C-alpha cells in the first residue's frame, strides 16, 4: 500500500525538558527516515497512484467526475483504516470527511485539502490537462517528455508531472497516504487523532462550505489544530509554514460624462471626459509610493508583532530577484520588503475601461468610465467597513453615489456622480506565530527541513479560512508542499517530484510530533 502525508513544521515550546525534547526528536527522526525509505523504495508506485488520481477530471461543475474523485479518495483512506463519509448538501459536491482515532492521542489535527481544480482551456495546454505527462525537468528549463517510472526505478527529484491539480491541490493526497503507509510499515505510532476535510468546490469559492461546517458542527468541535494543505513553497524555493492569509473584497466605480458619446473636436474642452474624472479620483486614493491615502484605511489593522518582524527578517531575501524577474527598477514604499507589505491592507486597480484604444480608438468623449478595485485585507479589517471607507473617500472628492445608472434628473442635479457596485468578501485569518499549540508543529517540520524552513506570517493570496475560525477556536496554519513555479491555476500546471517526496517526509513528522 501507499501513503501520503501533509508537511508541517514545529518549534520547541519553552516548557519542554531536555529529556522530552530528545525523545520527541528521536520519534520524529525515525518517522522521517521511514518516509525516506518508503519513497526511495516505492517512488514509482507513488507516482502511478498519483497519476491515476490526476486522470479524473475535477471541475466542481462536472458532477459525475467530481463525485468519482470523492469516492476514489474516500476509498483510498478507508483502506488505511479511516472512517470515511461523503457529507452531502443539495447542489454541492460532497465534502469528504474522515477520522482516525489514535490511542493516547496528544491532540486532534484537522487536515484540509481541496480535490477540485480550476477549469481548463485545453487548447492552451501543451498536453491534455487530464492525461498526466512526465518531464525530465521544468518545460521552461528545457525539460523533455520521459516515460513514467516502473517499480524499482530511481526517481529524479527534478522530474515534473504536468496535469491539472498536480500541485493545486491533489498533491497532498498521495503525500499523506504515503506517509501513513511508511509509518505503518515500520510500526511507528501516530501521536494525534486525525480528521480529514476535503473540499470539492474551493476553486468556485467554497459557496457551501459554511453550511457544511454549521450542519456538521459536532464533527469539528474538538479540533486542536487546523492544517491547510494548499499553496506553494517560498519564492526562494525553500519550504514554508504560513500563519495567515489575507481577506478580500472589492467594488466597481463608474463615473459619468455626457449621456451620449460626443465628437471630441466639437465638444473637447467643454464636455467633461469621464476617463479624466475617473483617473483623477483613483489618483487621490494612493500616493506615488503606493501607500493608500483613504482616511482610516490602515486604522483597523492588527499591529505587526515582534514575532512577525523577526520572521520577515529571518526569511530569505527575494525582493531583488523578484524585481529583476518582473522588470521592476523599484517597488512600492521605497522597496519595502514584500513580507512586510503583505501584512498591510492593499488597494489594487484590477481593471479600467473608458472607450477604446488602438485601431478601435475614436474621436469621442464617452458617456462613462469604470474601474474595478480590489482590496486585500489583513487581520482586523472588516470587508464591509473597508468598502465604507472607500465610499466615504469618493464622497469627500465631491461625488454623489448611486447604485444604478443615473436617470436624467440625477444627471442634471449632480455635477459629479459615481455608481458604486459593492462586491462580497471575507476577512483575513492569522494565527499567532508564538502560539504554544503550533510549537510542536514547527519543531517537527524543522526536523525535516532544518534551517531552510521559512516561517511566513501571511500569504498574499486569500482563502476563506474565516469559516474554520468560526467553527473552532483552534489555530490555523497553511502547509504548502508545491514548488513555487507550479503554474497554479494556469495551463501546464505541474509538481516537482522532489516537492512531493518532501511532503511525505513532512507529513510523517507531523503525524508523529510530540508535545
Query: Are 510 and 227 spatial neighbours (Cβ–Cβ below 8 Å)?
Result: yes
Give the predicted TM-score (pTM) of the model.
0.86
The pLDDT of residue 21: 42
pLDDT above 90 coverage of the chain, percent: 91
pLDDT in tens, 153-169: 999 999 999 999 999 99
pLDDT in tens, 68-89: 999 999 999 999 999 999 999 9
Q: What angle do CA 430, 432, 433 make, to 5 degrees?
A: 115
The pLDDT of residue 368: 97
* Per-residue CA distances from 7 to 174, 343, 505 (Å): 12, 24, 7
Q: Is the dihedral of CA 67, 69, 71, 74 positive or negative?
A: negative
Of 160-164, 203-207, 440-444, 485-489, the one with minimum mean pLDDT is: 203-207
> Phi/psi of residue 511, each to 5°?
-65, -20
Q: Is the pLDDT of residue 22 over 50?
A: no
Q: Is the pLDDT of residue 15 over 80?
A: no
Which grid cell is 31? 518517522
pLDDT in tens, 378-407: 999 999 999 999 999 999 999 999 999 999
Q: Is the pLDDT of residue 149 over 70?
A: yes
Which grid cell is 404? 444604478
The mean pLDDT of 308-314, rounded to a whole number, is 93
pLDDT in tens, 274-294: 999 999 999 999 999 999 999
pLDDT in tens, 236-276: 999 999 999 999 999 999 999 999 999 999 999 999 999 99
The pLDDT of residue 56: 98
Q: Find out whether the peptide bond into 169 is cis, omega within 30 degrees of 0.
A: yes
Residues of the chain with CATH 3.30.70.360: 247-304+343-422
Q: Is the pLDDT of residue 6 over 50?
A: no
The pLDDT of residue 24: 56
The mean pLDDT of 339-345, rounded to a whole number, is 95
User: What does CATH list as the number for 18-243+442-511?
Assistant: 3.40.630.10
pLDDT in tens, 398-436: 999 999 999 999 999 999 999 999 999 999 999 999 999
Q: Is the pLDDT of residue 139 over 50?
A: yes
Spatial distance between the Cα atoms of 108 and 101, rounded to a whole number of angstroms: 9
The mean pLDDT of 492-505, rounded to a whole number, is 98
pLDDT band at 26 (very low <50, low <70, confident <90, very high): confident
> Which helix (H) or strand (E) is 460 found in, with range?
strand 459-462
pLDDT above 70 coverage of the chain, percent: 95
The pLDDT of residue 23: 53
Q: What is the DSSP letter of 372?
A: E
Residues of the chain with CATH 3.40.630.10: 18-243+442-511
The pLDDT of residue 462: 84
DSSP codes joined into one string, 150-185: -TTPPPPTT-EEESTTTTTTSTHHHHHHHHHHHHHH
Which grid cell is 58? 475535477
Spatial distance between the Cα atoms of 113 and 319, rounded to a whole number of angstroms: 30
Mean pLDDT across the chain: 93
Q: Is the pLDDT of residue 18 over 90?
A: no
β-pairing verdict for 368-377 and 225-228:
unpaired
Q: Which CATH class is domain 247-304+343-422?
A: alpha beta
Q: Which residues neighbour 274 within 8 Å (Cβ) at sequence distance 6 or greater? A: 255, 256, 257, 354, 366, 367, 368, 369
The pLDDT of residue 205: 85
Amino acid at each position: 500500500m501507499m501513503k501520503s502525508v501533509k508537511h508541517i513544521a514545529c518549534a520547541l515550546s519553552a516548557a519542554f525538558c531536555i529529556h522530552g525534547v530528545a525523545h520527541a526528536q528521536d520519534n520524529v527522526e525515525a518517522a522521517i527516515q521511514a518516509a525516506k525509505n518508503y519513497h526511495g523504495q516505492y517512488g514509482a508506485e507513488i507516482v502511478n497512484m498519483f497519476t491515476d488520481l490526476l486522470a479524473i477530471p475535477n471541475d466542481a461543475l462536472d458532477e459525475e467526475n467530481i463525485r468519482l474523485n470523492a469516492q476514489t479518495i474516500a476509498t483510498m483512506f478507508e483502506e488505511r483504516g479511516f472512517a470515511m463519509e461523503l457529507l452531502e448538501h443539495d447542489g454541492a459536491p460532497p465534502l469528504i470527511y474522515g477520522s482516525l482515532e489514535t490511542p493516547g492521542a496528544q491532540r486532534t489535527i484537522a487536515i484540509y485539502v481541496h480535490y477540485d481544480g480550476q477549469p481548463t482551456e485545453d487548447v492552451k495546454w501543451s498536453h491534455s490537462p487530464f492525461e498526466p505527462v512526465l518531464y525530465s525537468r521544468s518545460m521552461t528549463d528545457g525539460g523533455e517528455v520521459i516515460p513514467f517510472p516502473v517499480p524499482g526505478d530511481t526517481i529524479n527529484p527534478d522530474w515534473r508531472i504536468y496535469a491539472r491539480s498536480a500541485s493545486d491541490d491533489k498533491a497532498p493526497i498521495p503525500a499523506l497516504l504515503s506517509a501513513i503507509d511508511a509509518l505503518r510499515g515500520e510500526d511507528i505510532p501516530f501521536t494525534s487523532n486525525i480528521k480529514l476535510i476535503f473540499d470539492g468546490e474551493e476553486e468556485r469559492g467554497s459557496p457551501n462550505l459554511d453550511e457544511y461546517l454549521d450542519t456538521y458542527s459536532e464533527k469539528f468541535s474538538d479540533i486542536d489544530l487546523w492544517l491547510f494543505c494548499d499553496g506553494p513553497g517560498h519564492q526562494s524555493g525553500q519550504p514554508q509554514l504560513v500563519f495567515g492569509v489575507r481577506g478580500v473584497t472589492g467594488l466597481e466605480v463608474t463615473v459619468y460624462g455626457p449621456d451620449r458619446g460626443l465628437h471630441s473636436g466639437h465638444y473637447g474642452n467643454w464636455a467633461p471626459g469621464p476617463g479624466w474624472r475617473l483617473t483623477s479620483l483613483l489618483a487621490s486614493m494612493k500616493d506615488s509610493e503606493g501607500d493608500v491615502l483613504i482616511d482610516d484605511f490602515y486604522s483597523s489593522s492588527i499591529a505587526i508583532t515582534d514575532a512577525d518582524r523577526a520572521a520577515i527578517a529571518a526569511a530569505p531575501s527575494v525582493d531583488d530577484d523578484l524585481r529583476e524577474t518582473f522588470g521592476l527598477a523599484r517597488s512600492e514604499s521605497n522597496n519595502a520588503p514584500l513580507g512586510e507589505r503583505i501584512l498591510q491592507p492593499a488597494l489594487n486597480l484590477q481593471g479600467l475601461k473608458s472607450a477604446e484604444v488602438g485601431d478601435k480608438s475614436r474621436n469621442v468623449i464617452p458617456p462613462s468610465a469604470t474601474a474595478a478595485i480590489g482590496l486585500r485585507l489583513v487581520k482586523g479589517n472588516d470587508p464591509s467597513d473597508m468598502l465604507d471607507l472607500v465610499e466615504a473617500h469618493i464622497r469627500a472628492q465631491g461625488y454623489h453615489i448611486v447604485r444604478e445608472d443615473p436617470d436624467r434628473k440625477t444627471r442634471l442635479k449632480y455635477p459629479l456622480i459615481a455608481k458604486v457596485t459593492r462586491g462580497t468578501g471575507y476577512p483575513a485569518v492569522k494565527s499567532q506565530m508564538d502560539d504554544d499549540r503550533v510549537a510542536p508543529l514547527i519543531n517537527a517540520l524543522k526536523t525535516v527541513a532544518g534551517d531552510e524552513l521559512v516561517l511566513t506570517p501571511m500569504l498574499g493570496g486569500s482563502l476563506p479560512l474565516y469559516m474554520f475560525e468560526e467553527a473552532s477556536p483552534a489555530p490555523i496554519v497553511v502547509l504548502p508542499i508545491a514548488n513555487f513555479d507550479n503554474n497554479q491555476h494556469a495551463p501546464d500546471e505541474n509538481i516537482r517530484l522532489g516537492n512531493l517526496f518532501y511532503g511525505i517526509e513532512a507529513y510523517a513528522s507531523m503525524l508523529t510530533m510530540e508535545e
